[in-house]
Amino acid sequence: MVATIETNLMGPMRMTSALIEHLKTRDKAVVAYVSSVLGFTPLALTAVYSSTKAAIHSYAMSQRFMLRDTGVRVVEIAPPWVRTELMNSQEAEAAMPLDQFIAETVALLGTDADEILVQAAKPLRANPGPGEHAMVNSFNVQMMTASA
């Protein structure tokens, strides 16, 4: 648990703090944070991971505001479930193929978007509001069934 918090939350915060004054002196500097759709739609089986990604989303939004009058752009990349070694997802049919994720992400990084959301991520990002709990519960039931 502590290692996940240190890596996913404290690491980016410490790196930003260490480098931000230098980045402010550069033209077109970019700080890119990697959150996850699990920061918007938490997976109960990975509650700490999901929580750190929600915190990074909040931190990125705060940094974007605080740096709005500087030359530093703040970008947040929020991947969906991608076929990687994380959670042994290389063969998971429901996960997005890695090469497709990379291609879509690189294309979006070439735009002025602050949040980089590939198509597969958008439904999980668009869940807040009165139906949020039902959507999160349904998502968790689906994921628990898929992993059983």
Domain extents for the chain? 29-147
Given CATH 3.40.640.10, say whether it is the number of domain 29-147. Answer: no
pLDDT at position 60? 93
Strand partners, 76: 33, 115
Active site residues: 49
Tallying the residues shown for the chain, one arrives at 148
Q: Tell me, what's the pLDDT at 144?
A: 78
Note the pLDDT of residue 134: 74
- Predicted confidence (pLDDT) per residue in 49-108, tens digit: 999 999 999 999 999 999 999 999 999 999 998 998 877 777 777 888 999 999 999 999
34 has a pLDDT exceeding 90: yes
Q: Does 133 have pLDDT greater than 70?
A: no
Res 126: pLDDT: 80
pLDDT at position 148 is 60
Q: What is the DSSP letter of 7?
A: I
CA distances from 80 to 47, 119, 126 (A): 16, 9, 13
CA pair distance 55, 33, nearest whole angstrom = 11
- Kindly report which listed range (31-45, 97-111, 130-144) carries the lowest average pLDDT score: 130-144
Helices vs strands, H then E, count in the chain: 6, 3
Average pLDDT of the residues of the chain: 89
